[in-house]
Chain A
Amino acid sequence: MSAIPLDYETLRLIWWALLGILLIGFAIMGGMDLGIGALLPFVAKTDEERRVLLNLSGPTWEGNQVWLVLGGGAIFAAWPAIYAASFSGFYIAMIAILLALILRPVGFKFRGKVDNPTWRGIWDWALFVGGFVPSLVFGVAVGNLFLGVPFRLDDTLRVSYEGNFFGLLTPFALVTGLVSLAMLITQGATIIAARTNGVVADRARRYGKWAAAATLGLFVVGGVISLFWLNGYEVTSLQNVLGPSNPLNKTVVLAQGAWRTNYTTMPWSILAPTLAVIGSVIAYLALDLRAKVLGIVGSSLSIVGIIATAGLSLFPFLMPSSVDPAASFTVWDASSSQMTLFIMLCATIIFLPIILAYTAWVYRVMRGTVTTTSLNRNPNAY
């Protein structure tokens, strides 16, 4: 163990931050395509208009979705206990997400292969479901982290889940679900507004403004509920930040307002919700003023702010247990071994800059406005 140049506490903090960065990466990049999918039937009415949107996503959506695949892999590798407990606990919700993720690639690829309105209509719905459902369900899942998830651990650390799918759909979780949906729709709308023109862009701006306003409003509502109303979780025993990843070595209590603690002990963390608010205001104004790049920047900033707010409010919790709070997973007791965290950090340091570089290059090659005339030049267009 002495061969590892970073201590366990630092590595755990880095991987907590990296988990946030990967989720933010997915929400910004993959969120564009999810938002476009959710807006597809409303912003684009004719087949040509829909093709414009699909070909706007088309060249890059597969790469964007890898942020999610990578996020899943990183949770597995760095936070295996969370991966095990959340994916099995949220089983039916995961099936709903998988339905959407199955429909998206085939929807993009198959839709344009047959020139028939019924055929295309079916795939339009598939793509709408593929954008709408995950956007909502991801937010519902995060809301349930604030409420605590009904799971227990036995002494072999086997997780058993005591809730069911409908138990996830509490009012607060629906608010967070809608925050997520509105946030990703805003993201999709700002991209459409920036990269198309005419009536499609106009509609996108109109829906985008509504979505940005909804993001802001729902975020504030969710924030007030979680800070002042909900019972938060609090670790009451001293946690060994260098200790083995075993959640059963601590005590935890529920306390009203506990999700407020970090904003008093770490006042700088107030920056996250501030960023969320400012970002959505910028997105709204930019859509209103037809400022293309600024819209994307504002929407992306609000995504950073919202996800950072969730992470910082819960810290050090990752997944509290509502039925056995002592079994809650925290940053200090749910990670991989020090060696695995270090190996994965090395891999990330090597590959993430390379990924960012070639992704940027692909976006540069594909830059420019997508219009109906530009579609007909490419035989591979969707």
Chain B
Amino acid sequence: MVDPLVVELSRLQFAATAMYHFIFVPLTLGLSFLIAVMESVFVMTGRQAWRKATLFWGTLFGINFAMGVATGVVMEFQFGMNWSYYSHYVGDVFGAPLAIEGLMAFFLEATFIGLFFFGWDRLKPAGHLAVTWLMALGANFSALWILIANGWMQNPVGASFNPDTMRMEVTDFVAVIFNPVAQAKFVHTVSAGYVTGSVFVLAISALFLLQKKHRDVAIRSMVVAASFGLASALSVVVLGDESGYVATEHQKMKIAAMEAMYETEKAPAALTLFAIPGADGRPAYQVQFPFILGLITTRSLDRDLPGISELTEDAAARVANGLIAYKALQAIRANGNDDAARATFDANKGDLGYALLLKKYRPDIENATGEEITKAALDTVPDVWPLFWSFRLMVAVGLFYVGFFAFWFWKASVHRLESSRGWLKVALWTLPFPWLAIEAGWFIAEYGRQPWVVEGVLPTFYAASGLHVWDLVISLTFFLVTYSVLLAIMVWLMVRTIKHGPAEKSVLDLSEDFTPPTRSAATLEPAE
């Protein structure tokens, strides 16, 4: 078995590198569309202020994108480096969306981002605009395929264990793509990215208005950000609700842990606003709203929500059942033509992963005791309180932004963006909030799935590479130091760029062959 310390360090490293990566990704997702919208307005109206805005936000986008690429390549390689048994066990299913992400999305995004920056003086305005949109589409397609891959880890549909190759293999790829968990996660996640981009643009524009600088760019940017942000914030909350509904179908334990719900809630389940844990770890005191949780998670008033205790009992039954599959698998491996064993295995293979939980306690799990089965069942309960509080943080921020953008949308509609310095300061100082909510969201999604790396199929501790502790010490130190240094440099460069502000006169405007993009200009040849 893999050294438990190596497993813990591998988890820490993956979590750290993923969370760093996801500082940059949401901004890429949101800013790319905001920039595309601003450039569209420029091409339609020919007003230079929109071009100035596009170039300015584009510069910040580029700094952020470089960090996204730097931290993103690491993610793709880490599955094989630190999670080699995972890669063997589910690569047949999980590898495909990652490879298609490269083919369909990242190639598009990475090829056109070069032209976005270098094509200004070589393309007609409409041509450049098309490049910008393709880049933004590439970024969003990329999120789609990554979340299809991640959705499969949450809800592993369309695949089945093959005893001859000792791994999960695709049986229905359409089911993998149209996995309801993946679809809900995709829209929820990209919407959160759009909110992040909108908050970023709104906050920095508010700073300009407070400083009474770059008013032409700031006002226009705020109008775009407030509208896009309002639509996105509503989408995050509505699709977050969809995620909750889908999770109820497929990840009951995660919901129960997020709600600190030890005992089954009779229909209609109450929503816990907050709770204080007692000495035994269970809620000692809680404030609840009747009916609400049942409505959110089951969309009904007559379905019970199973609590942790009941789910643990279910898990114990599945561990026992998984052992039947495991013993049949041993028989198949001893004799590939044992048809009776194959039939037994097929009937019980859905619970094979639960039997693997016992590997933590003994290698010869076919001899597991009842006590060990109970322990394995208890292992299926994630840490309740970190999930409980992260979830409340995420929801609070999400709801805050619905109100926030509704307010700014109203201010933009009545042309009173500059009327109150107080509100501009609020817009500026709440800039970090989206990242809190997003990191909390990923924490819930991944930590809430523990002890599984693939829900019900493969335990995390069983999936790690058999590395040495020193390998992990070296790599973890390396990543933390490199990423932190680069993050500090990136923030410093962004602050510098913001202080410098949008270029008043672009070099492009001065070049001789520049003509404002009127209809007749569309016939101009691109400059060589």
Contact = CB atoms under 8 A, between A and B. Distances in A.
B95 A336 contact: yes
A84 B87 contact: yes
A146 to B, nearest CB: 21
A85 B84 contact: yes
B93 interface: yes
B386 to A, nearest CB: 29
A245 B165 contact: yes
A361 to B, nearest CB: 9
Nearest to A339: B170
Contact of B70 (A58, A61, A101, A244): A101
Given A91-B467, A113-B496, A347-B99, A157 B167 contact: yes
A77 interface: yes
Contacts of A99: 478, 482
Contacts of B94: 76
A377 B511 CA distance: 7
A59 B116 CA distance: 9
A102 B169 contact: no
B165 A244 contact: yes
Interface string A84-105: 1111100110110111011111
A347 B91 CA distance: 17
B70 A102 contact: yes
A268 interface: no
B162 A87 contact: no
A62 B102 CA distance: 12
B347 to A, nearest CB: 21
Interface in B138-193: 162, 164-167, 169-171, 173
Contacts of A88: 80-82, 84, 465-467
Interface string A102-120: 1111101110011000000
Given A362-B114, A380-B59, A70 B70 contact: no
Nearest to A156: B166
Contact of A336 (B70, B91, B120, B511): B91
A58 B95 CA distance: 30
A33 B113 CA distance: 16
Contact of A378 (B112, B120, B486, B489): B120
Interface string B98-115: 111111101110111111
Interface in A341-382: 343-344, 347-348, 351-352, 355, 358-359, 362, 365-366, 368, 376-381
Interface string B229-245: 00000000000000000
Contact of A73 (B101, B471, B474, B503): B101
B401 interface: no
Contacts of B123: 365
Interface stretch (A35-43, A158-166, A220-228): A158-166
Interface string B409-434: 00000000000000000000000000
B88 interface: yes
B91 A351 contact: no
A276 interface: no
A344 B486 CA distance: 36
Contacts of A200: none
Given A63-B114, A159-B84, A378 B108 contact: no
A80, A101, A378: which has the most chain B beta carbons within 10 Å? Answer: A80
Main secondary structure of the interface of A (DSSP, over half): helix
A72 interface: yes
A6 interface: no
B55 interface: yes
Interface stretch (B27-35, B61-69, B200-208, B281-289): B61-69
Contacts of A97: 77
B80 A83 contact: yes
A66 B122 contact: no
B475 A58 contact: no
Interface string B71-92: 1011011011110111110011
Contacts of A62: 69, 110-111, 113-114
A74 B98 CA distance: 8
Contacts of B171: 339
A158 B465 CA distance: 9
A87 B118 contact: no
B74 A102 contact: yes
Interface in B472-492: 474-475, 478, 482, 486, 489-490
B106 A69 contact: yes
A336 B92 contact: yes
Contacts of A380: 55, 58-59, 62, 117-118, 120
Given A73-B76, A91-B471, A362 B112 contact: yes
B361 to A, nearest CB: 17
Contact of B99 (A76, A246, A337): A76
Contacts of A105: 65-67, 69-70
B526 interface: yes
A31 B503 CA distance: 35
Interface of B: 55, 58-59, 62-63, 65-67, 69-71, 73-74, 76-77, 79-82, 84-88, 91-96, 98-104, 106-108, 110-115, 117-123, 134, 162, 164-167, 169-171, 173, 333, 465-467, 471, 474-475, 478, 482, 486, 489-490, 493, 496-497, 503, 506-508, 511, 526, 528
Given A344-B99, A358-B112, 13 more contacts: A66-B110, A69-B73, A73-B98, A87-B79, A91-B465, A94-B77, A101-B73, A110-B63, A246-B165, A340-B92, A347-B104, A378-B117, A381-B118
19 contacts: A60-B114, A62-B114, A63-B110, A69-B106, A74-B102, A76-B99, A81-B91, A83-B87, A83-B95, A94-B77, A105-B69, A110-B489, A159-B88, A244-B162, A246-B166, A340-B95, A347-B96, A378-B120, A379-B507
**Which 4 pairs between the two chains have the least Cβ-Cβ distance?**
A80-B91, A87-B80, A77-B95, A63-B111
